[in-house]
């Protein structure tokens, strides 16, 4: 193979590796989680645990959109949907109950478990679990721009 062919093959392999990295880190993070959290019993309500925002039309997180948030200057913490915020706290609470490991493992497991919860639990299950764990008192929703203060 000529040098130009090897260079193009290297570029393709590098691009493919970068494209696959979020998914591979997600799988690694899930492998590091010890046990899985269980959702609370479903309640008939369909409202958020910490707000009255409706939970319709929610999109589950995925490793690539999660990673893209780090490069998007408009993805501010104030714009995080309640479901994602609650899933984050459910994942953190579950990991706090596990044996403690290094910070890198903690961050990777927490991110992967947050994504997993939004993909495998319904919005009602996430909200009901957040209500059961009293997460509204842990992290209240900040006021929305232009909304009531």
How far apart are alpha carbons 60 and 84 in whole angstroms?
9
- Taking only the tens place, the pLDDT of each residue in 40-79 is 876 545 444 455 555 666 778 899 988 888 887 666 556 7
Percent over 70 (pLDDT), the chain: 74
Residue 94 lies in a domain: yes
Could you tell me the residue range of the domain that residue 80 belongs to?
3-138
pTM of the model: 0.76
Cβ neighbours around 12 below 10 Å, total: 10
What is the SS3 assignment for 65? helix
pLDDT of residue 55: 63
- Taking only the tens place, the pLDDT of each residue in 75-101 is 655 677 788 888 989 999 999 888 888
Say if CB 139 and CB 108 are below 8 A apart.
Answer: no
How far apart are alpha carbons 99 and 33 in whole angstroms?
10
* Contacts made by residues 140-149, CB under 8 angstroms, sequence distance 24+: 140/50, 141/50, 141/51, 141/82, 141/85, 142/77, 142/78, 144/78, 145/78
Total count of domains within the chain? 1
Residue 11 lies in a domain: yes
- Taking only the tens place, the pLDDT of each residue in 106-121 is 999 999 999 999 999 9
Q: Burial level of 36, CB count in 10 A (0-12/13-18/19+)?
A: exposed
- Taking only the tens place, the pLDDT of each residue in 124-138 is 888 888 888 777 655
Residue 146 lies in a domain: no
Residue 145 lies in a domain: no
Residue 113 lies in a domain: yes
């Amino acid at each position: 193979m000529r040098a130009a062919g090897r260079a193009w093959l290297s570029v393709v392999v590098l691009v493919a590796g970068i494209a696959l990295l979020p998914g591979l880190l997600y799988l690694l993070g899930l492998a590091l989680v010890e046990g899985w959290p269980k959702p609370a019993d479903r309640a008939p309500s369909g409202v958020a645990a910490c707000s009255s925002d409706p939970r319709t039309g929610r999109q589950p997180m995925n490793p690539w959109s999660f990673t893209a948030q780090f490069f998007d200057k408009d993805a501010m913490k104030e714009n995080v949907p309640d479901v994602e915020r609650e899933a984050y706290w459910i994942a953190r609470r579950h990991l706090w109950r596990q044996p403690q490991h290094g910070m890198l493992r903690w961050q990777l497991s927490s991110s992967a478990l947050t994504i997993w919860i939004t993909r495998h639990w319904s919005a009602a299950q996430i909200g009901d679990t957040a209500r059961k764990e009293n997460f509204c008192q842990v992290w209240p929703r900040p006021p929305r721009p232009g909304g009531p203060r």
